[in-house]
Amino acid sequence: MIIPVNKPSGYTSHDIVAGIRRAIGNKTKIGHTGTLDPMCTGVLPVLTDNYTKLSDYFPSNKAYICKICLGIATDTEDITGTVLMECSSIISEDEFKDVLAGFVGTIEQIPPMYSSVKKNGVPLYKLARKGVEIEREPRTVTVYDIKYNGPADAKNSYFFTVYCSAGTYIRTICADIGKKLGCGACMGSLERIISNGIAIEKCYDYESVLVLAENGMLDRVAIPFEKAFAHLDRIIIPDNGKKYYLNGGIISSDRIIGVEITPERDYLAYAEDGTVLGLARANEELFVKSLWNK
C-alpha cells in the first residue's frame, strides 16, 4: 500500500515507519520515500509490502513552505542548532525578495554537515556530532520556482514556498540567503507540501493512521497504485505476451498496444482486460520490460 502520512514535528521519518509497523502488529515490510528532519512536518509517503520496491519510480520533485529567520546563523542551518552568529540588522521585504528570486534555477549547494550524506560510508551528521567537519563537494540541484509568502510573526522572519528537485536542502538555501544578505540566516520551520506527486491535502495525520493500522483498515487511506502513477502514459501488454512479460521477458514495442513507445521512458502497464499490471520501461532498442509487478 501507499499510505500518505502528514508527519508531525518531533518525529524522525524512521519513528513514523516504526510506529506504523508496530500498529500493524506483524513483520510487514515497510519503508518511506524521503527523509524529513524531526522538526519538519508534512508529506511522508509510507510504503508497505511489495510497494516498498516503488520508491525509486515516483515523481521526484518536492515542494516546501519554509520560514526563514534572518540574523541568526547556526551549525545545523536550522533554528534547533547552536547559534554561531547573530546580527541585529533589519532586512526589508524588498531586500529579502530580491535575494530570494536569485535562487531560482540550477544552483550549487554544499551539503550541510548535519545531513545524512555519507563520507566513506559514514553519515555526515555522525561526524558533526563529534565536532568533526570535513570538506564536502558541491551538488547541483534545481529550484523550479520560489514564491514569497509574506512576513512571519517574528522580526526579520519571512515565509516562502519553494518547488525543487529531490536532494535540495532548504536549510542550506536559508543559510546561503543569509550569507548573500550579510546577516546570516537559518530555517525556522519547514512543511513539505508535495512529495512524490502526493499533495499535503491528500495526507492523513499520524495518529489517525496508527488507529487504522491497529484495526486492519489502512486500505481506507491508501492511494491506489494507478493514481500514484497517473502521470505516466498507459500501455497495454498483449495477452499472448503477458505471462512472458510478467516473468521478466522483454517485448518488442511493435507488439505494445497504446502510445508510441519512447526509449528510456517509464509506462503504466495494463493487460488487455483492463487489469493493472504495474510499471514498465522501454530501453534504447524499444523493447519493453517490467519494472514492478502489482
> Which residue is catalytic, options 15, 37, 145, 219?
37
Q: Which three cell numbers stand for residue 262?
A: 519512447
Q: Find the Cα–Cα–Cα–Cα dihedral 8, 9, 13, 16, rounded to 10°.
A: -40
276 vs 289: CA distance, rounded Å? 15
Q: Which residue has the cell 520496491?
A: 53
* Grid cell in block for residue 232: 505516466
Task: Return left, alpha or beta for 49; rule: phi > 0 is left, psi -120 to 50 is alpha, else beta.
Answer: left
Contact 150, 159 (CB under 8 A): yes
Angle between helix 206-214 and 13-24 (nearest 10)? 20
**Is there a catalytic annotation at residue 145?**
no
Q: List the beta bridge partners of residue 269.
A: 235, 278
Catalytic residue positions?
Answer: 37
